[in-house]
Amino acid sequence: MTPINNKKKNLNFLDFRFVGLVGSILLIVSEFLPWFSGFSLFDAYILYTITAVEESFIFLFPLISGIICLIASLLIIYNLEYKINSVIITFIGLGFLTLFLVDFVPGELFYLSKAGIGIGFYLCITGFMIMVINIMLILITKE
């Protein structure tokens, strides 16, 4: 029986594939946590669909972004050869989130400063930064 050679296997527990999962899950979870004045973005979506349907879909952008980034992270876990495809899909997901942050946050800045910023906002920004770090880790990895 030949001994197992562990030098060939590089076991990284903080692998870039799992960093992407954490970032995308944070983006999805931030949708359902309070952003300001005790309301989550999903609650705001439901309230806005009653009055202004065309403006309500902006509240779903962090959820859509998280799902797109999750698909990109699962793609790279499935096969490492899809690194560039995963980066492109992640950029698309982060584009949705950037549109949301540029459109929503300046309009609600008055309310965010008065009512206090909830944990959903912080999780969204943290997930965004983790996904950007994930893109950099994917691109610098030579596997």
pTM to 2 decimals? 0.80
pLDDT band for position 88 (cuts 50, 70, 90): very high
How far apart, in Å, are the Cα atoms of 31 and each of 18, 119, 139?
21, 10, 28
Residue 41: predicted pLDDT:
80
| Region 102-117 average pLDDT | 71
d(CA 43, CA 65): 18
- Interval 7-25: pLDDT, tens: 445 544 457 778 889 999 9
Tell me the pLDDT band of 90, cut-offs 50, 70 and 90.
very high
Is the Cα dihedral 103, 101, 40, 116 positive or negative? negative
Q: Domain residue spans in the chain?
A: 17-140
Please state the separation of Cα 83 from the chain's center in Å: 17
Q: What pLDDT does residue 109 have? A: 66
Residue 6 pLDDT greater than 60, yes or no: no
With a cut of 50, say whether residue 112 has pLDDT above it. Answer: yes
Q: What is the pLDDT of residues 46-55, one digit of tens each?
A: 877 888 777 7
Question: How many whole angstroms separate alpha carbon 41 and alpha carbon 46?
Answer: 9
The single residue listed with the structure tokens 């008055």 is: 110
User: Tokens in use for 62?
Assistant: 């962090």
